[in-house]
Amino acid sequence: MTPAEFAARLRSRERILGYWSVLDAPVATERIARLGYDYVCLDAQHGLLGYAGLLSSLTAIDAGGASVGLVRVEANDPTPIGRALDAGAAGVIVPLVDSAEDAAKAVSASRYPPVGRRSYGPMRSGLRIGPAPADAHAATVVIAMIETPEGLAAVEEICATPGLDGVYVGPSDLRLAVGGAHVADRSVDAEFEAAVRTVCDAAKAAGIAAGIHTPDGATAAARLAQGYTFASIASDVVHLENTARAHLAAARGEETR
C-alpha cells in the first residue's frame, strides 16, 4: 500500500487495522509489516526509539511492502513532526491535543508554506511520497490524540479543524482524564465508555476517521463494530512478554492467567 492509498482509505473512513511498535528492532518490525496490517505505528513519545531507530524502522516497514509507517511524535511541535515525515512516515499521530488551536498547529506543522510551517527537506519522504509539496499534502495524514479532559471537552471543535484527518483515543490517559485513579481503574468504566462514544460520534459527525488503541484483536474488532474506523493492536514489547510468559508456564506445566 502506498501512502496515498492509505490516506484515501483513512479519509474515506474505511476500516483499517494497525500494529503498535515501541522497540528499536527493525528486523522484527519488518516481519510484522509483512503480516497484513494496514499500518505499523512507531511510538516516538513513549517508545524506546531514537531518531536512528525511527529511520531504520520506517525503512523496514517499507521493505515489508504491505503496511505504511506512522509515527506517534513526542510533541505537537514542527520539529518532531517534520523529522518523522522527512524520515518517510505516511502520517503522524500527535499527542495531547487539547483544543482546535492545538489541532490546527499540528496540521500546519505537516504542511509546507504557504499553507503551513513544515520546513522543506523531504529526505526519505521525497522517495516514498514525492518531493512536490502538493503530493506530500495529499498523501500525508495528521491525527490528533484525544486523551485529556480539555481535549475531550473540545472534541467537536477539534474534529472540525480543517486538514485534520482523524482523532485517536489514548485509553490509558483518557481513563485518567475521566477520574480514574490508575489506568486500569474499573470504577470509572461508565464514564470511560461514555467518553469513548463521544469521541467516536464527534468524528463521525465531522466526517473524519476515528481511531483507538486496543490491547488485542478481539477488542479492536469490538471497537470497529462500535463505530471506530481504525484501531491499533497492542505492542511488540507486550506481545513478546506475554508469549514468553505463556511458553515458560507451559514448559513448567503451570496454568496461565
User: Cell for 44?
Assistant: 516516538
Residues annotated as catalytic (active site), given as ranges = 46
DSSP symbol at 44: T
Alpha-carbon separation of residue 107 from 116, 125, 155 (angstroms): 7, 17, 16
Alpha-carbon separation of residue 165 from 92, 130, 138, 176, 234 (angstroms): 10, 20, 11, 25, 22
Task: Decide if 94 contacts 82 (C-beta within 8 A).
Answer: no
| Residue among 82, 130, 134, 87 nearest 110 (CA) | 82
Task: Decide if 209 contacts 10 (C-beta within 8 A).
Answer: yes
Angle at 214 between CA 213 and CA 217, to 5 degrees: 135
| Residue recorded with cell 503551513 | 116
7/1 Cα distance (integer angstroms): 10
Residue-wise DSSP of 154-180: THHHHHT-TT--EEEE-HHHHHHHTT-
